[in-house]
Structures are given as C-alpha cells and as structure tokens.
Structure 1
C-alpha cells in the first residue's frame, strides 16, 4: 500500500455511511477496521456502533465527512441534470435523423409525457421565482 492510511474509513451506504476506525498498529501489522458508528446524511444522525462512546475527535471527523459528502452529492445532482440536457439534445438529434418509425412508436408517448411533466414543473417554478423576485423588489 501507499504511505499512511487514514484514521477513518467511511463505507458509503444509501443514506450515509458505516464509519470504521483504521488500525495498522498491531502485532501482525495487518489492517484492521473497527466499526465505530453509522451516519445518516439525510437527517444528520450519528449512531455509535454497539455500546461505543464516540470521542469529540471522532464526532468532529464524522461531521466533516458528512459536510464533504453533502457537497459531493449536491455536485453530482447538478451534474446529472446537465447530462440530462445533453441526453435530451442527443435524443432530439436521434429522433430527427436516425430513428425508425417503430423506434419512435416505442418511445414517443413516454417521452412526451415526461417532457410535459418536466415543462409543467419548470414553468411553475419559474413563475414562483419571478413572483418572489417581484415581491422582494416591492
């Protein structure tokens, strides 16, 4: 392995992570990972594993990881949306230039409904922002 291992390892789960303390200072010089907590990003909950008591250092490192993870997930969300815009453009080009009648028949209704739903939400949210901005200026 490389240089020094981190003191903590976070095994990412659906809503957070299982937190392990990494130990290489043992007689066998093996890597041991001792689970110390489970964290939930959505509600900010940190649950010690078993009957453990987390130190202030443990809590500080876990909270820092949670903040970093929230930033990563937020960045991924917006990146996914930018990709969706690209996919819509690629889909338009495909429909215009390469799609067969059978392929179009297979996807047209689903695409139209999804685009109608998205358009409705975007128009409503845009109107809400314009109204809010107008009220803020008043």
Structure 2
C-alpha cells in the first residue's frame, strides 16, 4: 500500500476536500483524514476543524490547485474543439440524413445559437484587431 499518495483530493465543483492518506496504522487499512477544503475559484484554503496545515500540506495543496487549473483550462479548449466537430457533424447530418420533421424540430434553436456565437466571435475578433492596431501604433 506504500504506492498510495500522501494526499487525496476529492474533487467538487469549486475545488476539493483534501485528505491526508495514512496506511501506517496497526490495522494496515487506509485511513483518510480530512485536513482542508479548497476553493479553486478564489484560491481559498480552509483548514478542517481546528487543524493547522503544515508547510508540506500547503505545498501539496498549492501544487494540486495549479495542476487542477491547468487541467480545467485544457478541458475548456478541448470542449470547444469538440464543439467544432459537432458543428461539422451536425451540418453533415442536416444535409444528408435529417428528415423534414427533425430539421423543423432543431432549426430555430440552431440558428439562434449560431447567430449568438457568430456575434460574440466577430465582436471579440474586432476587439483583438483593434488592440493589436493600437499596440502597433505605439
């Protein structure tokens, strides 16, 4: 059981519950002692109960928060790449497989969502181009 990590992070929506893993006990069982609650959105670390977190505890928590933020950022962009694939698949479906009834059921929702997305993308691209033009002028 010595292969187990020293800390376990039970992921929740805004962060995690942090446990210290103990396998060095008489019963040779895995004990998990909650030591903190982490909120990844605001970076807050709250010790559990009356605990004081050690430097090693804080370092492990900070490392996890950094790694978790990177993973979530990667997942966000991966989801967007998947959305592009879904749009392509949807276009193929609409052109080659969809019945009139199916198209009637989804066309308005798709058109509104695509219009909204296009509006946001065009505005954001214009903002970036404007900022880039200002930077070049300086």
> Is the TM value for this pair above 0.5?
yes
- Cα distance in structure 2, aligned partners of 1:124 and 1:45: 34
Q: How much is the aligned-residue C-alpha RMSD, in angstroms?
A: 0.7
Unaligned stretches of 5+ residues in structure 1? none
- Cα distance in structure 2, aligned partners of 1:11 and 1:30: 19
Residue 120 of structure 1 aligns to a residue whose secondary structure is helix
Q: Which residue of 2 aligns with 1:116?
A: 115
- Cα distance in structure 1, aligned partners of 2:3 and 2:98: 54
- Cα distance in structure 1, aligned partners of 2:3 and 2:95: 55
1:4 deviation in Å?
1.4
How many residue pairs get aligned? The number is 137
- Cα distance in structure 1, aligned partners of 2:118 and 2:39: 33
Q: TM-score, normalised by structure 2?
A: 0.98
Q: TM-score, normalised by structure 1?
A: 0.98
Q: Which residue of 1 aligns with 2:14?
A: 15
Residue 25 of structure 1 aligns to a residue whose secondary structure is coil
- After TM superposition, the runs of 4+ consecutive aligned structure 1 residues lying more than 4 A away are none
- Cα distance in structure 1, aligned partners of 2:96 and 2:68: 41
Residue 20 of structure 2 aligns to a residue whose secondary structure is strand
Q: Note the 1:98-117 alignment, pairs <5 A.
A: 98-117=97-116
